[in-house]
Amino acid sequence: MDMAALGRRGLVVLGCGKMGSALLAGWLVRGLEATSVCVIDPAPSDWLVRQGVRLNDDLPESPAVVVIAVKPQIMAEALPRIAGFGGGDTLVLSVAAGTPILRYEEAFGPGTPVIRAMPNTPAAIGHGISAIIGNAAATPAHLALAESLMGVVGQVVRLETESQIDAVTAVSGSGPAYVFHMVEALAAAAEREGLSPALATRLARATVSGAGRLLDARTEDTPATLRRNVTSPGGTTEAALEVLMDEASGLGSLMARAVRRARERSEELARG
């Protein structure tokens, strides 16, 4: 992305909490001029104040992008402030979960290019994955711009339909919490086997983060291959996997139910 070109037209960020700040940090590191960013946020963090961006200041006439990173529940209150950017060439890029594109089209008017992105929490350390989907007015150039803007916090994948975003939310959006719970469950099991709480947590945490790093390092291997590599016939891992991979009561069926429930909840929230 040409940060200088982006900087000339300016960029507006509505809501700069955890996700907005992670994105902003990435753009600034990649050379975006801090003074070309206008942030609207009622209570800016100390970090944000130190960045030299324009805070709650006059807004540019026609910024290249307006990034929406407020919580969905305050959308109705926050959107009117930026509704004037609709109908032109300003791209509306929202990372808010649960707010459909139609809601932005209503607020910004027809013909406004809108792209929804669904990132996840590891974005905070540059290891997120975001899925993006645009409306009919979003051109390939807008999608490329959104991809580079979201790319500063991790990988980016493109969706074919907006309805896929509910499944994405249920998998990668909520997924980090499933993995954190896996650590809790593994630590609890370790305690039941007689280990101290501190040791149990340390083992579980390091195991999950170490396995995650291995996944990252060995992209040529499928997860199934990595699993098989640590499963010797008749060994301890195989004994545990027989329980975990049981068709009726194992992790597979439990995960399928959990993801289905999350997807349904995402659909419910989108309906309002």
Ligand X SMILES: NC(=O)c1ccc[n+]([C@@H]2O[C@H](COP(=O)([O-])OP(=O)(O)OC[C@H]3O[C@@H](n4cnc5c(N)ncnc54)[C@H](OP(=O)(O)O)[C@@H]3O)[C@@H](O)[C@H]2O)c1
Of 38-46, 85-93, 219-227, 260-268: span binding ligand X (CB under 6 A): 38-46
Neighbours of 206 (CB within 10 A): 11
Of 92-100, 186-194, 203-211, 249-257: span binding ligand X (CB under 6 A): 92-100
How many chain residues touch ligand X (CB under 6 A)? 25
| Cα 134–Cα 160–Cα 217 angle in degrees, nearest 5 | 100
Q: Return d(Cα 17, Cα 94) in angstroms, integer.
A: 14
Q: Return d(Cα 263, Cα 166) in angstroms, integer.
A: 5
Among 4, 5, 49, 74, binds ligand X (CB under 6 A): 74
For residue 71, state whether it binds ligand X (rule: CB under 6 A). Answer: yes
Under 8 Å between Cβ of 48 and 90 = no
Residue 14 or 262 with smaller CB distance to ligand X: 14
Residue 70 or 171 with smaller CB distance to ligand X: 70
For residue 69, state whether it binds ligand X (rule: CB under 6 A). Answer: yes
Q: Return d(Cα 266, Cα 120) in angstroms, integer.
A: 14
For residue 14, state whether it binds ligand X (rule: CB under 6 A). Answer: yes
Give the nearest distance from C-beta 86 to ligand X in angstroms: 17
List of residues 6+ apart from 70 with CB closer than 8 A: 14, 15, 78, 96
Of 15-23, 192-200, 242-250, 254-262: span binding ligand X (CB under 6 A): 15-23
Q: Phi then psi for 86, rounded to 5 degrees?
A: -80, 165
- The residue sitting closest to ligand X, measured at its beta carbon, is 17
Footprint (CB under 6 A) of ligand X, residues 103-132: 119-121
Instruction: Find, among 108, 112, 97, the residue nearest to 162 by Cα.
Output: 97
Residue 125 or 199 with smaller CB distance to ligand X: 125
| Residues found near ligand X in the complex (CB under 6 A) | 14-20, 40-43, 69-72, 74, 77-78, 95-97, 119-121, 173
